[in-house]
Structure 1
Amino acid sequence: MTDVREKNEIMVEYEGRLATVTINRRKILNSLDENTIKLLTTKLKEVATSTCDVVIIRGEGRAFSIGGDIKGMLMNEDKTILPRVMDAAKELSLCLYTLPKIVISAINGACVGAGLSIALAADYVYANSKAPLAMNFIGLGLIPDVGGHFFVQNRIGEVKAKQLIWEGQKLTAEEALNIGLIDGILSDDFQESIKEKAKDILQKPTLAMIETKKLFTALNKEKLLQVLKLETIGQLTMRNTKDHQEGLSAFSERRTPQFLGE
């Protein structure tokens, strides 16, 4: 299997009390494999112990992240990889949700599947006006992971979360804002606008803000852990369905899948 790697796959830059974490696999639109997920978790754990108060998470190039590395999975015959990826994804989700910092997701481009799950784990989610968003696991006969069920429900409620997941439709940033999935759209000089948002937060009593975050984290951590456990069971089950195999075939053949509910 050909492994396309950037020199610095996960980059962290500190500017005083601000840290910027960048997913840097731009050649493949910041898609996520086991190594990338583990490295991102490691870097976030380092940020957690730093003196920064605000963290921006972003993707390099044209995408925030298009989610799991589907092409890589299709080329890899190792049957043990999926359970390992799910375990790594659980650790990443928990680490990001409980990070004792104020986290801002900067959706600069396409944000899809597991990439959207990661983005929605932040405290603030802002998107470029041209960024498409989709919780599109359904197109592969799969369910959301990386805590996707938990984070979508937190933002838009159970009924709308189910419908969003089932439909798997691509949303514009404006549509995502209208349903409450994101917190705002920044059009002019997106990266600079994100930094301005971060600077505004740094003018506030961040210790008190982080204490509030810790309180909510303590209340909801067990629920997230339960969701992550159920997502793992459900995803491993879905991987063995005919619908998933049809979804993979359609993806590789660039055609519309014909699902049978099997």
Structure 2
Amino acid sequence: MPYKAIRYEFSEGMAVITLNRPEVMNALNAQMRAELLEALRRAEGEARVIVLTGEGRAFCSGQDLGDGASAAGLDLERVLRDEYEPMLKAIYDCPLPVISAVNGAAAGAGANLALAADIVIATDSAVFMQAFARIGLMPDAGGTYWLPRQVGFARAMGLAMFTDKVTARQAADWGMIWEAVADVDFEHHWRARAAHLAKGPTAAFGAIKQSMRASYSNDLTAQLELEAGLQGKLGRTHDFREGVMAFLEKRAANFEGR
């Protein structure tokens, strides 16, 4: 489909989805959410790694409050259930690694869209902000799920209630994101990281995602059973055989994602 609110780039196993409404700091409107969902499904079918990033000076400023007759007229429950939930689950349930390359400000639902990814790499000048309480709302788009798990209960509560900005370096120190990178090196760095994953053992990455997500709710016995089942499947893959042969032959593995 032709995209208007995003760009889609595919090359060498890497799908890069760029939020492309820079004039409104890539605010999420209905069209962008629909296109993003379609692009995520497309990428799952042809890529080995997915990257989400933004055009211009922001990653995403959150919900576009002008997307409708008025802010007060927005049916927030419907929008969250029908538009945000499928989009966020497409990231969460995707068997491929998903990287958020946060190129600038990530606020409100935009911050939580970024945090939904498996790995978040941010440029040094980026900031994260749970801005919801400033307009009389609570964090949504998964914010009340990601934040307590990533930064702990006390910090999650403070971020939600005080709506303070968190710098990329602070977010990395807190465990909210994987790493912060100097602005001048940012795009080269995240592309190199994504290229590494695109050449990796894709099935193993999917199993890592599944098992790590399940660990929040499983007890030890259930988690050990899940690990055994997933590892058994991985032990029958081409990439496991290739990895072992490469180790024994003292060479780099040539993974094919199967």
How far, CA to CA, are the matches of 1:47 and 1:210 in structure 2?
A: 14
Quick one: percent identity of the two aligned structures?
31
Distance 1:77 1:15, change over 3 A: closer
How far apart, CA to CA, are the structure 2 residues paired with 1:93 and 1:191? 24
Counterparts of 2:65 and 2:118, CA distance in 1: 28
The match for 2:97 is 102
Q: Does 1:41 align with 2:47?
A: no
Partner residue of 2:189? Answer: 193
Greater Cα offset, 192-201 or 122-131: 192-201
Task: Name the residue aligned to 1:130.
Answer: 125
Deviates more, 1:152-161 or 1:86-95: 152-161
Gaps (5+ residues) in structure 2?
A: 219-258
Partners of 1:80 and 1:53 lie apart in 2 by: 37
Q: 1:43 and 1:221, CA in 2 relative to 1: closer, same or farther beyond 3 A?
A: farther
Deviations 1:59-93 (A, max 9, x none): 111110000112445x5378464333212111111
Contact 1:92 1:146 in 2 (8 A): no
Q: How many residues align?
A: 215
Alignment of 1:111-150 (within 5 A): 111-150=106-145
| Alignment-derived partner of residue 86 in structure 1 | 80
CA shift in 2, pair 1:183/1:9, >3 Å: same
SS, match of residue 39 in structure 1:
helix
Q: Distance in 2 between matches of 1:80 and 1:131?
A: 29
**Cα distance change of structure 1 residues 20 and 221 upon mapping to structure 2, 3 Å threshold:** farther
CA distance in structure 2 between the partners assigned to 1:156 and 1:27 by the alignment: 31
1:57 paired residue number: 52
Work out the CA distance in 1 between the residues paired with 2:99 and 2:74.
34
Deviation of the 1:37 alpha carbon: 1.3
Pick the structure with greater CA Rg. 2
Q: Which structure 1 residue ranges, 5 or more long, are not aligned?
A: 1-5, 223-262
Q: Over the residues paired in the alignment, what is the CA RMSD in angstroms?
A: 2.3
What aligned pairs does 1:61-72 form with structure 2 within 5 A after superposition?
61-72=56-67
Distance 2:40 2:52 in 1: 10
Indicate if the aligned counterparts of 1:33 and 1:85 stay in contact, CA closer than 8 A: no
Residue aligned with 1:189, SS: helix
Change (3 A) 1:209 1:143: same
How far apart in 2 are the matches of 1:107 and 1:155? Answer: 17
Inter-CA distance 77–213: structure 2 relative to 1 (3 Å threshold): closer
Give the CA deviation at 1:221. 9.1
Tell me the amino acid that sits aligned with residue 193 of structure 1.
H
Would you say the 8 A contact 2:108–2:129 is kept in 1?
yes
Deviation of the 1:147 alpha carbon: 0.9
